[in-house]
Amino acid sequence: MIAAILPAGTVAVDTFTDAPGTFLFPEEESIVRGAVDKRRREFATGRWCARQAMVRLGRAPTPVLPGPRGEPRWPAGLIGSITHCDGYRAAVLANSDVITTIGIDAEPNAPLFDDVLPAVSLPQERDRIELLRRTHPDVCWDRLLFSAKETVYKAWFPLTARWLDFEDADVTFDPLAGTFDARILAVGAQLHGRRLTGFKGRWLARQGLVVTAIAVASPHRPPGVPHLRPPWQKVAPTECDLPAATGPAAQTLAE
């Protein structure tokens, strides 16, 4: 599902179930030793997805260990992101000479608790969400906003190694194109030699979930690699009539 909003040059693997007995490297096993079953399953299946993506990129599977902020640490030459929520796990990877940074997030298409939205949003974002609720009620826009901000942070951190608070990004959704713009309010970050002022992302509501993604193309993209698809191509933002996938195919940064 997440592949529908990701550009050419990325490899995405997702699943709606957990595979029993999913392999973990010893270094990974030590991280979840003693964890509750739910945490262990989402951790293991997320890494299963990541290793499947590694193989599709022609890489040998390796451990994916968390960094200081919980971010996945990828082998040299790769960039990626992992997400999981109830009933869904996904990972996306790319070669770092193709994609500079990437972030994904998945959440249930269900409202946030009442006290959460004020903590994760700006006043102008809440005003826009209220309008979207009236005009497009099938999407839980507060939850989608939360997901988009998680994705923004996951794309931001590999570039800066700096924290980004919820109020440091102002997100605007296009309900028809399935895109969003995130204006970065924090200063001092650079991207491709210029000040980083924001990201453009895509979103999708399907099968009881909302998913968001940001992928920034590398300026050193190798010859022969397809250009990123325009964000308005590929899929409509809401498609609720597709059959569910079966079988195996934050908050920290992306666990």
Q: Following DSSP, what letter does each residue of 141-169 receive, concatenated? A: HHHHHHHHHHHHHHHHHHHH-----GGGE
Tokens 């500079």: give the residue.
100
* Structural domain for 23, as ranges: 2-217
239 within domain boundaries = no
Taking CA atoms, 75 is separated from 46, 179, 216, in Å, by: 16, 30, 19
User: Do the beta carbons of residue 68 and residue 113 sit within 8 Å?
Assistant: no
What integer pLDDT is reported at residue 66 of this predicted model? Answer: 94
What is the token pair recorded at 26?
Answer: 């010893």
The reported pLDDT for the residue numbered 244 is: 32
pLDDT along the chain (255 residues), means of 10: 96 92 93 94 96 97 93 96 97 96 98 95 98 97 98 94 93 98 88 89 98 93 53 36 32 40
Q: Report pLDDT for 98.
A: 96
CB 110, CB 88: distance < 8 Å: no
- Report yes or no on 92 lying in a domain: yes
Residue 234 in domain: no
The answer to pTM > 0.75 is: yes
Q: Is residue 241 part of a domain?
A: no
Give how far Cα 105 sits from Cα of 36, 85, 174, 186, 253, Å.
Answer: 22, 9, 18, 21, 10
User: Do 204 and 6 form a contact (C-beta atoms < 8 A)?
Assistant: no
61 is a domain residue: yes
**Cα–Cα distance, 72 to 35 (Å, whole number):** 18
pLDDT given for residue 217 in this prediction: 93
149-187 per-residue burial string, b: 16 or more CB within 10 A, e: under 16: bbbbbbbbbbebeeebebebbbbebebeebbbebebeee
Asked if residue 251 belongs to a domain, the reply is no
Count of domains forming the chain: 1
Largest CA distance in the chain: 50
pLDDT in the model for residue 226: 53
- Does residue 174 form part of some domain? yes
Q: Residue 154 maps to which CATH number?
A: 3.90.470.20
Cα separation values, 27 from 42, 69, 123, 191, 255, Å: 16, 17, 43, 33, 16
Q: Is residue 212 part of a domain?
A: yes
pLDDT at 235: 35
Q: Phi-psi region for residue 115, left (φ > 0), alpha (ψ -120 to 50) or beta?
A: alpha
How far is residue 226's CA from residue 67's CA, in Å, rounded to a whole number? 31
d(CA 133, CA 226): 37
